[in-house]
């Protein structure tokens, strides 16, 4: 049984539970918040505990899950990769190009693997759209759109993102982009080439942005994040792909229907007859149990990490894809500062 360390126990406790279900031994827990650490320790009483990851960098573990502050993942990832410990990192993978380059170099030199814990690539509606694209049902991708939005009340947004001491208060409005960009890149198999970031709403620091990203395939991606009204019931995510021969998009509908996908082909593209139908994803089944749609992405990412650690399977979202998606947010921040001008995204495949 592979031993795993969990760093960051707000999101990390969810990942720890899935790690345990996947067959990992949750051997160590880490969080600076003593209450979170105590609560997690009550669930995993045999696990070693610490308040900082540095105290556990030499722990006897095969793997580490990094689920602490959004902008603090690169440093521990580098340290654990150097020691030959498999890494599953939450977003963001990096917050500068220099961090991204170091991550790619470290992952490719390490005996261990780097995996990105981007659960949105495995959500049921995203996988359904991805299969339709891969099967050629809508032709080549021309325009792809993805939303990740929360319809919070203004006072709740202020409480969540208004504290400069909290990571949400110190990151750029463009930074939290991988829940949209990773599905875009995963579905298209493309890399980001250039991004233009547009603020939404009034105020010196926008709480929402629209990113227009040109992809290496020539397709255009339009993504919307983070605090906007009309949040989708498919775990705050909506995906639409317009191809040269049709459309595939998740439904803007309440409840479970939001996980379903509409497929449309005009008569000229479908043998003379209109096709306009809804595809409903099958329920994810893992470890002999059905998984709720909102949990499916996390469950599948953890299961993929288990296969990487114990079987040597390739990472579900490897380091270059993780860095590419994260750097869209970095380039987008520069675009926003400069008045929404196009900014190149570093080409991770040339490193």
State pLDDT tens for residues 79-106.
Answer: 999 999 999 999 999 999 999 999 999 9
pLDDT for the residue numbered 339: 97
Q: Does some domain include residue 322?
A: no
- Are residues 156 and 260 located together in one domain of the fold? yes
Instruction: Report d(CA 350, CA 155) in Å as an integer.
Output: 44
Based on the number of CB atoms within 10 Å of its own CB, is 313 exposed (0-12), middle (13-18) or buried (19 or more)?
Answer: middle
Q: Does some domain include residue 30?
A: yes
How far, rounded to the nearest angstrom, does the alpha carbon of residue 313 sit from its chain's CA centroid?
A: 20
Q: Does some domain include residue 51?
A: yes
- Are residues 183 and 244 located together in one domain of the fold? yes
- Are residues 159 and 20 located together in one domain of the fold? no
Number of folded domains that form the chain: 2
pLDDT for the residue numbered 161: 84
pLDDT for the residue numbered 178: 99
Per-residue pLDDT of the chain (351 residues; tens, 9 = 90+): 999 999 999 999 999 999 999 999 999 999 999 999 999 999 999 999 999 999 999 999 999 999 999 999 999 999 999 999 999 999 999 999 999 999 999 999 999 999 999 999 999 999 999 999 999 999 999 999 999 999 999 999 988 887 777 888 899 999 999 999 999 999 999 999 999 999 998 878 899 999 999 999 999 999 999 999 999 999 999 999 999 999 999 999 999 999 999 999 999 999 999 999 999 999 999 999 999 999 999 999 999 999 999 999 999 999 999 999 999 999 999 999 999 999 999 999 999
Instruction: Report d(CA 145, CA 278) in Å as an integer.
Output: 18
pLDDT for the residue numbered 168: 85
Three-class secondary structure of residue 117 per DSSP: coil
CB 323 within 8 A of CB 103: yes
- Are residues 37 and 132 located together in one domain of the fold? no
Q: Does some domain include residue 351?
A: no
- Are residues 165 and 18 located together in one domain of the fold? no
- Are residues 112 and 135 located together in one domain of the fold? no
Alpha helical stretches, state H, the chain: 11-22, 34-43, 74-82, 97-109, 124-134, 154-161, 167-170, 178-188, 293-311, 319-337
- Are residues 197 and 292 located together in one domain of the fold? yes
pLDDT for the residue numbered 239: 99
- Are residues 187 and 74 located together in one domain of the fold? no
Kindly provide the residue ranges of all beta strands, DSSP E only, lying in 201-279, ordered along the sequence.
208-215, 220-227, 237-243, 247-250, 261-265, 275-279
CB count in 10 Å sphere of residue 347: 13
- Are residues 306 and 274 located together in one domain of the fold? no
* Nearest Cα to Cα of residue 16 among 8, 46, 118: 8
Q: Does some domain include residue 31?
A: yes
Q: Does some domain include residue 321?
A: no
* Nearest Cα to Cα of residue 146 among 185, 174, 114, 175: 185
Q: Does some domain include residue 27?
A: yes
Residue range of the domain that includes 13: 3-120+298-315
Q: Does some domain include residue 350?
A: no
CB 22 within 8 A of CB 287: yes
Instruction: Report the predicted TM-score, pTM, of the whole model to 2 decimal places.
Output: 0.97
């Amino acid at each position: 049984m592979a031993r795993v360390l969990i760093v960051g126990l707000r999101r990390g406790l969810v990942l720890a539970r899935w790690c345990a279900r996947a067959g990992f031994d949750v051997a160590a827990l880490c969080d600076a918040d003593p209450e979170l650490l105590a609560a997690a320790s009550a669930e995993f009483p045999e696990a070693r505990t610490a308040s900082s990851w540095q105290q556990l960098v030499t722990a006897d573990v095969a793997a580490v899950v990094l689920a602490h502050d959004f902008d603090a993942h690169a440093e521990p990832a580098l340290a654990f990769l150097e020691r030959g410990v498999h890494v599953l990192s939450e977003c963001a993978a990096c917050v500068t190009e220099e961090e991204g380059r170091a991550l790619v170099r470290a992952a490719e030199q390490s005996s261990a693997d780097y995996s990105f814990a981007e659960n949105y690539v495995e959500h049921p509606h995203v996988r359904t759209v991805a299969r339709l694209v891969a099967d050629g049902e809508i032709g080549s991708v021309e325009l792809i759109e993805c939303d990740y939005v929360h319809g919070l009340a203004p006072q709740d947004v202020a409480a969540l993102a208004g504290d400069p001491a909290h990571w949400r208060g110190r990151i750029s409005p463009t930074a939290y982009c991988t829940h949209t960009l990773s599905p875009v890149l995963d579905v298209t198999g493309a890399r980001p080439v250039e991004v233009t970031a547009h603020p939404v709403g009034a105020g010196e620091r926008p709480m929402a942005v629209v990113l227009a990203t040109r992809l290496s395939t020539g397709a255009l991606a339009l993504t919307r994040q983070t605090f906007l009204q009309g949040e989708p019931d498919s775990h705050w995510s909506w995906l639409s792909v317009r191809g040269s021969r049709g459309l595939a998009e998740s439904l803007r509908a309440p409840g479970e229907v939001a996980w379903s996908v509409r497929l449309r082909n005009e008569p000229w593209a479908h043998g003379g007859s209109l096709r306009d139908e809804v595809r409903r994803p099958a329920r994810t089944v893992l470890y002999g149990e059905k998984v709720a749609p909102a949990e499916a992405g996390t469950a599948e990412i953890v299961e993929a990490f288990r296969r990487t650690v114990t079987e040597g399977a390739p990472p579900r979202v490897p380091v270059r894809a993780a860095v590419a998606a994260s750097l869209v947010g970095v380039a987008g921040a520069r675009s926003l500062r400069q008045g929404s001008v196009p900014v190149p995204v570093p080409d991770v495949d040339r490193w």
